[in-house]
Amino acid sequence: MVAHDKKRLGILLVTPALIFTVVCFLLPVLALLLDAFRVGGPDSVDGAALHWGVDRFVAFFSEPLNRQVFMRTLRIAALVTLFSALLSYPAAQAIVRVSPRYRGLVLGMMILPLMVSPIARTYAWIVLFGRNGAINSILLQLGLADEPQRLLFSEMAVFVGLLQLLLPLMLMSLVSSMENLSRDITLAASTLGANAWQVFTRVTLPLTQEGLIVGGTLVFTGCVTAYVTPALLGGPKVLMLETLLYQKVSVESDFGTANVIAVILVAMTLAVNAGLKRISSSRSST
Amino acid sequence: MKEGLFSRAILWLVFLFLLGPFIIVFLAGFSAGETLAFPPTSYSLRWIFEVLSAEEFQRAFQTSLEIGLLATVVALLLGVPVAYAMSRMPPPGMGAIKQILTSPLIVPAMLVGLGLLRHFVLLVDAPVFLGLLIGHIGLLTPYAVRVVYASLVNLRVDIEEAAITLGASRSQTFFLIVLPNIRSAVIAAFFLAFVTSFNQVPVSLFLTGPGISTLPIEMLGHMENSFDPSIAALSTLLVLFTMAFVLVTEKVLGISKYM
């Protein structure tokens, strides 16, 4: 086949998907994001003329509640990312050492939670943390509490729920990057006198950096854009950006603020993605 | 070997943390009580039967099934040609095209739902079902591209060239040589995409309305105004269903290779 024809066929094959993505996805989302910068206009409250600007963002961040939600989202996402990495490193190390016989089983156990509906996964924590839940009945029976404690609708509940939801992503990224790391290298380091901590910080960590970055991005953006878990375990009191967005639209029909949150969410995920690309490209060039 | 023991202990803790909650859902799902309590005072299949016969859950299940199957098929029809072109005949501007096609993975799913609602359903007055379907297709297409592309890269080009040299046309080569060889990747992509659609909440939130609701959205709605164990029962069924599904696909296809 002639190179020219091949090129034409290539274009032909990607065209349907390209048109679909642009028309049905990119344009509606871009219109949504642009709306956040459109201020005033014929149906505005004070009759101001239509213009473009960041007024809506200034208004959004001048509200203490919104600032609080923004900071809470960052804080929870950072904590979940940190804890998932701390737990995943030793766990991933154990997984790559599992004998091939049980490997499928272990990988299956890792994937299963990812395939189960987030509602079913989050629901377990409602059962555990609820007023008549397992933790409260244990506390009461042991005499550690006189009345049921309020465990649900707290930042702690959201943190635990998100950690369980997203930990498998970090685990999978670290397992795949550790598989490429030969066992001989760490063995050589310890033979040459490095202690376990030195082996980890000077050998394992730099060589699995890629997996850590990919896993960290997935977990962080997963936290920022999660809806079900914060909605069910945080309730209306512990709002995160995505639950605030939903509330603005469905309860208050406040599309203006929703657009602003949309821009913030996209900016956050883009920033994390760009940071990832930068770190991994600077690593491969050195 | 002290270090190995430590990491094994952490692994068991992690698995307990990830899978333990499912046992709790099971126990709550088989509760006989009127309201949700843990541990349940007595056990029965009462709530399992209750949710299986509930009309609103049946209808939502059917919608989820329809949307999931339709969206998955369309996503594969859109995605497989892209994966094939990317691996065999990259068109000019491949980098930009790839960026556009994978953008649904970067944009938070809820914005897709909101964008489609405002600039598609409300503006053009398109039917809600169509909006819902389009949102799901957009979300699933990158998955289809990624999984199928991974297996096409590993498939040797020689056999296709041999077929062409022997007189087969491009389309004959694709359907008779390439497709049978990437069959398991296509099936894996199908399952992954279907499960993703079936469990999807943020895209569907704004796109479901009176009369049209997917199972997860119906579950969320039910939770808001009722404290009975029916969601535990439904979650139990979903977990069991997924477990069987994962076990079978992992045994047959080794789905973990594609994730």
pLDDT at B254: 65
B40 to each of A129, B83, B129, how far by Cα in Å? Answer: 14, 51, 39
**Would the pLDDT of B33 be above 90?**
no
Q: For the whole prediction, is pTM greater than 0.80?
A: yes
Q: Do B24 and A107 touch (CB under 8 A)?
A: no
Q: What is the mean pLDDT of residues B147-172?
A: 88
**Regions in chain A scoring below 50 on pLDDT:** 286
User: Stretch B21-35: mean pLDDT, rounded?
Assistant: 81
Contacts of B259 in chain A (CB under 8 A): 111, 114, 172
Residues of chain B neighbouring A137 (CB-CB closer than 8 A) = 38-39
Is B107 an interface residue toward A (CB < 8 Å)? yes
**Residue B138 to residues A91, A115, B65, B134, Cα–Cα distance (Å):** 35, 19, 17, 6
Structure tokens at A88: 């995943």
Report the distance separating Cα A38 and Cα A41, nearest Å. Answer: 8
Closest Cα in chain B, distance from residue A157 (Å): 14
Mean pLDDT comparison of A38-52, B39-53, B158-172, highest-scoring range: B158-172
The answer to whether residue B86 neighbours chain A at the CB level (below 8 Å) is: yes
* Contact between A128 and B198 using a beta-carbon 8 Å cutoff: no
Looking at residue B256, its pLDDT comes to 61
In this complex, the residue of A13, A119, A137 whose CB is nearest that of residue B219 is A119
**Chain B: residue whose CA lies nearest to A93:** B7
Average pLDDT over residues B92-120: 88
pLDDT at position A284, please?
56
Phi and psi for A38 in degrees, rounded to 5?
A: -95, 120
B183 touches chain A (CB under 8 A): no
Q: What is the pLDDT, as a whole number, of residue A155? A: 92
CA pseudo-torsion sign B231, B233, B237, B243: positive
* Chain A CB within 8 Å of residue B8 CB: yes
Is the pLDDT confidence value at B184 over 50? yes
pLDDT of residue B29 exceeding 90: no
Q: Does B1 score more than 50 pLDDT?
A: no
pLDDT score recorded for residue B69? 95
Q: Is the per-residue pLDDT at B117 higher than 70?
A: yes
The whole-number average pLDDT for the span B105-118 is 90
What value, to the nearest 5°, has the Cα angle with vertex A198 and ends A194 and A200? 120
- If you average pLDDT over every residue of chain B, what do you get? 86
Confidence of residue B3 (pLDDT cuts 50, 70, 90): low
- Which of B14, B37, B114 minimises the CB distance to A87? B14
Q: Minimum mean pLDDT among A103-107, A235-239, B54-58, B177-181: which range?
A: A103-107
- Given a cut of 70, is residue B258 above it in pLDDT? no
Q: What percent of chain B has pLDDT over 70?
A: 95
Contact: B112, A90; criterion CB under 8 Å: no
Report yes or no for ipTM above 0.95. Answer: no
Are A91 and B235 within 8 A, CB to CB? no
- Determine the average pLDDT of the residues in B50-60: 87
Contact at CB, B18 and A9, closer than 8 angstroms: no
Q: Do A21 and B103 touch (CB under 8 A)?
A: yes
Whether pLDDT at B251 is above 80: no
Using CB atoms, pick whichever of A14, A167, A270 lies closest to residue B91: A14
Asked if B245 lies within 8 A of A93 by C-beta distance, the reply is no
